[in-house]
Structure 1
Amino acid sequence: MPFLHLVTIVVDDYDPAIDFFVDVLGFELAEDSPSLTNDGRAKRWVVVRPPGAETGILLARADGADQKAAVGSQVAGRVGFFLRVEDFDGTYARLAAAGVAFVTEPRTEEYGRVVVFLDIAGNRWDLVGPA
């Protein structure tokens, strides 16, 4: 049965992105391996994922002007990523204490509690928890 294995987030640099996703969001570092670009230059294959998740995020360092321009705007300023948690208030407080930038105030919607935050690259995420 097919499933979504990876999505890519283009970042300025690997290590600050790993720190954000692992130390701040609590993801696991699933892989950090040396690799090569299509034209033979060194890069890293870096995958993070929430604990227990099958789908991961490939953290890809921007390579060239077009990719650098995409950092933080991969979904044209929309919320493009959704992190579902069981403890909304605790997670919100932990992220706020870690200095995560929130774009909105927490609110309650039909589908649960939600607040919009920015990742290390500037992409918008919904933090979503039970109503």
Structure 2
Amino acid sequence: MDWYTRALDFQLLEDTPVHAARRWVRIVPRGSQGACLLLARAVNDEQASRIRKQAGGRVPLFRHTDDFKRDRARMQAQGVHFREEPRHEDYGTAVVFEDLYGNLRDLIEPKTWART
């Protein structure tokens, strides 16, 4: 949880112990009023086999920003591993990075930034 709140600037919504080996941890991008992420540890071999393979090598989650340079620099300073140099697409500026477990994520500043 610390890595997500420190490196990705997520906000902790809930950290509730379920029992000795399990916690219910929900985080959300700071300022977001949309969906949240549930962080959970693998508790068996089947779940562990899915780490780094959540989306079959594709990027399933995007971290939108209203200031790409600021957030990329902050993330780099926190040791986030970027898989490429930033690229400018029709939809905006984007870069692929890895989360703490090697899952791929995108940092994107849409060309038309509109908070909803």
Q: TM-score, normalised by structure 2?
A: 0.89
Q: SS at 2:40's partner residue?
A: strand
1:49 corresponds in structure 2 to 28
* Post-superposition CA distance 1:71-95 (Å, at most 9, x none): 1211111111101000001111111
For structure 1, the 5+ residue unaligned runs are: 1-17
- 1:33-112 aligned at under 5 Å gives the runs 33-36=16-19, 42-53=21-32, 54-112=34-92
**Could you report, residue by residue, the CA deviation over 1:7-57 in whole angstroms, capped at 9, with x for unpaired residues?**
xxxxxxxxxxx0111011111110000115xxxx74110000012323110
Aligned-pair distance for 1:102?
A: 0.7
- Runs of 4+ with >3 A deviation: none
Provide TM-score, normalisation by structure 1.
0.79
Deviation at 1:130, TM superposition (A): 3.6
Q: Larger RCO: Structure 1 or Structure 2 (Cα < 8 Å, ≥ 6 residues apart)? A: 1
Q: Any gaps of 5 or more consecutive residues in structure 2?
A: 112-116
Are 1:121 and 2:104 counterparts?
A: no
Superposed CA RMSD in Å reads 1.3
Opposite residue 48 of structure 2, the aligned amino acid is K
Output the amino acid matched with 1:33.
T
Paired residues, number? 110
One-letter identity of the residue aligned with 1:125? R
CA contact (8 A) 2:93 2:110 kept: yes
